[in-house]
Structure formats: C-alpha cells, structure tokens
Structure 1
Amino acid sequence: MGQGLISTAALLAGATLVLGGCGLADSHAVWPEILKVKATEPAPLEAPPNVKQLVAGKLDSVFTAGSQPTHVRVSAPVHDPRSTGWTACVRAELTSVIGKPLGTQTYRVFFNTTTIFDRRLAGEDDNCLTETFEPV
C-alpha cells in the first residue's frame, strides 16, 4: 500500500510541474510567439458626450439649490483615466443662500453620456485654471 501512495504522490508532483509551466507563457516570456498569451487591447473610447447640453439640463447636479448660477461655462470633456466616464470643469457666478454674491466658482464634474454622477470644488490638481471655457 505504501508503494501505491508513493507513486500517486510522484504522479501528482509531475502533473503539477507540467501544468505549472503553462502560466509562464505570458506576453513577456521568451517563448515563440505562437505560445505567448496575447496582451489584451483596451477598448476604444466612445465619442465624448455633449457636456454643454448635459450641464444645462442638470444644473441642480452641479450647483446647490439657491446658488442661482449665472454665466455658466464649461470646458471640453476629457476622458477620466480612472474610469469609463468623462470629466470637465464647470464655472459660474454664484450667490450664497443669504443673497450675497460668492463670485466665480469652479467645479470639476464627473459624468457619463447621460448622468453627472459626482462633482467637487476644483482644486489646483484639477487644471481648471488652464482650461478654455465656453458658455452653456
């Protein structure tokens, strides 16, 4: 019985070595091209959505209620490298809840083709200062 256990263990060890080598044939291995795993190509980007139309129809998604945005302007959409969505800068003249002018405020918005799903006050890292804006 001990002899059968040893031969079974040897057979399993051999199979493990043979099958373990299959993972080594990736796209960077030194193997003939036919044996290499092909690196996947990223999906092509779809055309950017109409950010002017999206922001104009969803001002309440960008600005708080009562801020009375005027002179709303947007930058060109840029693909967000961290997701499948897009980003743009939105700038407007705003008013506080007590009616005091807040001046020009700039937000970075995150959106897809139909929905603004996040926004935040633009910071130095957002590059909104160097963007070109067009009226909505």
Structure 2
Amino acid sequence: MQRITVHIVLMAATALALGGCGFADSRSPLPEFMRVKESDPPPLEPPPDVKELVRNHLDSVFMAASAPRNVEVSPARHDLRGLGWTACVKAELTSANGKPLGVQTYRISINEGLIFDRRHVEEEDTCLSESYEPI
C-alpha cells in the first residue's frame, strides 16, 4: 500500500513539474530558448483619405440639422492608443433653433476606413494647432 502511495506522489510531482513548462511566457525567469515568443503587433493600415471619408459620411460627424458649412479637415494621424487613425474636422454650424454656433471642431477616430467615434475638441487638444484643408 505504501509503495502505491509513493508512486502516486512521484507521478503527481512529475506532472506538476512538467505542467509548469506550459506557462513559460516571455516574462518568465526561464532561459530565452524556453520562453514563449511574443507575437508581432498587427501591421498598421494605410492612412485614410480623410477628405473623401468626411465628404461621403458627413452625417457621421455632424447632425444634418446643424447645416455644416465650410467644412475643413486635418491630415490623418496614427492613433497612439490603437491601430486606427485620428483627424480633426471643423465647420460652421447652426443650432437646432437656427442660431449660428460658429466654428465647431471635432476629433474623429477612423478604423478600417470608417468613422467610429467623434468627440468635441477641448482646449488642450492638438486640433487647435493642426493645418486644415477644405473638403
């Protein structure tokens, strides 16, 4: 009986030791050749044509009731927090009751050729120093 218990303990210890080899990630203290290699980051998509994208999807940036005029866009910049792109868009807008709002600026996020987010620009944003071109 004792012999069977010793064999079970030895097999369990061996299984535990060998099972730990599967967890040798890139930050483990094991030698380099025993670690799991880190995967390469996915490639960046080419910069989008912001002028055409905004021209074709103006309703993704501005509400139709705001009647955007003199729309201008900045060049696309790589988004530092992801794989997409960001750009700035500004236009003269009108409020829902017809009063002019003046020039409003938005930062848009572009991923896989689509505008998926827009945010009103704040004072510390870099959109204020960008160069713009009319669409």
Task: Provide the TM-score with structure 1 as the length reference.
Answer: 0.84
1:53-96 CA-partner distances (Å, limit 9, x unpaired): 00011111101121111111111112223333221110011111
Any idea what SS the aligned residue of 1:108 has? strand
TM-aligned CA deviation for residue 130 of structure 1 = 1.5
The answer for the alignment partner of 2:17 in structure 1 is 17
Percent identity between the aligned chains? 47
Any idea what SS the aligned residue of 2:66 has? coil
The answer for the alignment partner of 1:70 in structure 2 is 69
Could you tell me which amino acid in structure 2 is paired with residue 39 of structure 1? E
1:1-136 matches, within 5 Å, as 1-24=1-24, 26=26, 29=29, 31=31, 33-136=32-135
User: Is residue 27–residue 38 contact of structure 1 (8 Å, CA) maintained in 2?
Assistant: no
In 2, Cα distance between the equivalents of 1:27 and 1:96? 55
Task: Provide the TM-score with structure 2 as the length reference.
Answer: 0.84
In 2, Cα distance between the equivalents of 1:4 and 1:124? 75
User: Is residue 45–residue 84 contact of structure 2 (8 Å, CA) maintained in 1?
Assistant: no
Any idea what SS the aligned residue of 2:64 has? coil
In 1, Cα distance between the equivalents of 2:101 and 2:41? 43
User: Is residue 27–residue 39 contact of structure 1 (8 Å, CA) maintained in 2?
Assistant: no
Q: Which runs of 5+ in 2 are unaligned?
A: none
| Equivalent residues, number | 135
User: Is residue 92–residue 105 contact of structure 1 (8 Å, CA) maintained in 2?
Assistant: yes
Any idea what SS the aligned residue of 1:20 has? helix
Q: Which runs of 5+ in 1 are unaligned?
A: none
